[in-house]
A = this chain, B = another copy of it.
Amino acid sequence: MLEGLEVLAFDVFGTLVDWRTSVARQVRRVAPQLDGESFADEWRARYVPSMERVARGEIGWTKLDDLHRASLDELLAEHELDLPEDDRVELNLAWHRLEPWPDTVAALTRLRERFLLVPLSNGNVRLQVDLARHTGIPWDAVLGAEIVRAYKPDVRTYASVPELLDVPAAAAMLVAAHPSDLRAAKAAGLRTAYVARPLERGPQTPQPPPQELADFDVAVAGLDELAGLLLDG
């Protein structure tokens, strides 16, 4: 089924790293009066709408660090919290220092023995570079939204993987915890692997119904299972 597979492209936020717990920790450190998890959720809730403003052309290309910062400033104003500039800069960098899920680094290190590995994230290049240094994720190159100046699910992001790594689209697979991301990858001709991340949004994380997962080449409970399937399966 997966003959000819050469490249694995990974969604990052939620799929490889636990943004909620990591951001919550930094929020508590910088602003102990806030509820860390709630603030992380509110911040993340502005993520898709902020990228949609770029996609609709309301604002020009803007890297995710700057969208994150604008959302942070809005949220702090809503909470009537006047943090100093240094703390805002520091807090915005929380997204560069997210912790990996426990299976991430070991599984990617194994998978890299057989496949080329790249992130395909909406995070900007510097964010991904810092995250890779922080976590030890071993990328071959850093692809993603900033390279093509368009956010997922714009088809240009997915198409850039086979184009820049010079393989047929079906020789590349997107690995992600989000069905909408995988459907867009599939529409661009990539293979798809769904990874369950039942704690991404905390204990109440909604999980997709099993029939939704039947659209994808692979659906696994974690990255160890994916590595087993692709390397030994």
Q: How far is the CB of A150 from chain B (nearest CB, A)?
A: 14
Q: B133 near A140 (CB under 8 angstroms)? A: yes
Q: Please, which residue of chain B has its CB at the minimum distance from the CB of A117? A: B129
Q: Which single residue of chain B is at the shortest CB-CB distance from A141? A: B142
Check: A98 CB closer than 8 A to any chain B CB: no
| Docked-complex contact B146 and A129, CB < 8 angstroms | no
Judged by a CB distance under 8 angstroms, whether A169 is at the interface is: no
Q: Which residues of B contact A125 (CB under 8 A)?
A: 141, 164-166
Instruction: In the A-B complex, list the 7 residue pairs whose CB atoms are closest, starting with the nearest.
Output: A141-B142, A126-B166, A125-B164, A129-B140, A126-B165, A129-B141, A125-B141
24 contacts between A and B (CB under 8 A): A63-B166, A65-B166, A116-B129, A124-B164, A124-B166, A125-B141, A125-B164, A125-B165, A125-B166, A126-B164, A126-B165, A126-B166, A128-B141, A129-B140, A129-B141, A129-B165, A132-B140, A139-B141, A140-B142, A141-B141, A141-B142, A142-B142, A146-B164, A147-B147
A residues whose Cβ falls under 8 Å from a Cβ of B? 63, 65, 116, 124-126, 128-129, 132-133, 139-142, 146-147, 164-166
> Given contacts A128-B141, A142-B142, could you give 9 more A-B pairs where the C-beta distance is less than 8 Å?
A124-B164, A124-B166, A125-B141, A125-B164, A125-B166, A126-B164, A126-B165, A129-B165, A133-B140
